[in-house]
Amino acid sequence: MKFGLFGGAVAKRGSESMDSVGYRAFIDYVIEADRLGFYSLFVVEHHFSGIGQVSATTNLLGYLAGLTSRIRLGTGVLVLPWHNPVMLAEQLSTVDLVSDGRLDVGIGKGYRDIEFNGFAISKDEAHARYEESLEIIKKAWLSTERFDVDTEHWKFNDIIVEPAPVQKPHPPLWVGAGRPESIRTAAENGFHVLIDQFSNRAKTAERLGNFKSGCDKAGREFDPMRLALNRTVIVTESAAETEAAMAQRVEAQKKIDQFGKLPGNEPTSYDNSDYAEDDAYIIGRPDEVIGRLRVLEDMGFAYILITTVGGKEKLRLFSAEVMPAFRS
């Protein structure tokens, strides 16, 4: 089993020093994760929330590429309807270049009303914009000759996109998907899939089955490293710390929910025991965390993206007490 990280820096509007501290702590956290052998990092993209979430994802990943040497760097996810696809292709290729081929490109259609409203883009246009942008980005990466684009939303004349990405034919494309048909279609079309951190055990098992059936339909062998399951994972050192950490995560979930639900998710329950028993949150002492990760491993998952709390100290504890149990 491989472990990556999911999340981002926080820099809520306020004093310049506090903004700097928020990003500096996250950068130090990623550098430590690289040193400890974590496999990957996926950084969010969000706008206009007022809580300081990362917005300029490719900029941050480009900086992190120069400070790390092994950890893969991913977008989790870039919302294509909001971006100029040619400029985005250039930015992503640049990150792939400076990271020596460590980029993973997570893409999506978006779901938060506040963001579509802020960009003055109708959610009804999201699918069409997403499809157009994805095709333009792939063409930009693959074309060795100049080309034109003329679609409903985009027009480019006589362009060739540089630099080319290091990974061939291009960096892995990941999609955030929740609905059964979306997961199956993604698997059929050769995409990697990100599964959110809030789904319960039954829903998670169903989504794994959806991905496998999509692979079967396409005649493609199931590769568990093409399916990443996101989970809040916190290693604690006492029962009291476990209880406090669980309560903190539930409160954080309430704040996240004010911006909208991820597609395919059921209404959230805020009972701590629901999260604990259903492995939506994996919080506990090392042996408890290992046992609950084993359940996911037995289901067929081999790649877990963890959202953790506590900074570098918790990363070190997870690396020392949990990761060795899953090394072959």
Cβ neighbors of 131 (< 8 A, separation 6 or more) are none
Closest Cα to residue 106, out of 133, 79, 66? Answer: 79
pLDDT of residue 140: 98
What is the per-residue pLDDT for 107?
97
**Residues 6 or more apart in contact with residue 279 via CB below 8 angstroms:** 200, 201, 204, 231, 292, 295, 296
Q: How far apart are CA 105 and CA 88, in angstroms?
A: 11
- State which amino acid sits at residue 231: R
Q: Given this model, what pLDDT does residue 251 score?
A: 77
Look up residue 36 and give its amino acid: L
3-state SS track over 142-210: HCCCCEEEECCCCEEEEECCCCCCCCCCCCCEEEECCCHHHHHHHHHCCCEEEECCCCCHHHHHHHHHH
Q: Which residues contact 298 (CB under 8 A, 6 or more apart)?
A: none
Length of the chain (residues): 328
Instruction: For each of the domains in the chain, give its residue range(s) and CATH number, in order of start.
Output: 2-326 (3.20.20.30)
Distance CA 80, CA 106 (A): 10
Model pTM?
0.91
**Residue scoring higher pLDDT (234 or 197):** 234
Q: What is the pLDDT of residues 20-57, one digit of tens each?
A: 778 999 999 999 999 999 999 999 999 998 888 899 99
- pLDDT for 325 equals 97
Mean pLDDT of 141-148: 98
Average pLDDT of the segment spanning 2-30: 85
Mean pLDDT, the chain, rounded, equals 90
Nearest C-alpha neighbor of 32 from the set 308, 290, 326: 308
Q: Would you say residue 272 has pLDDT above 50?
A: no
Question: What does the pLDDT read at residue 263?
Answer: 57
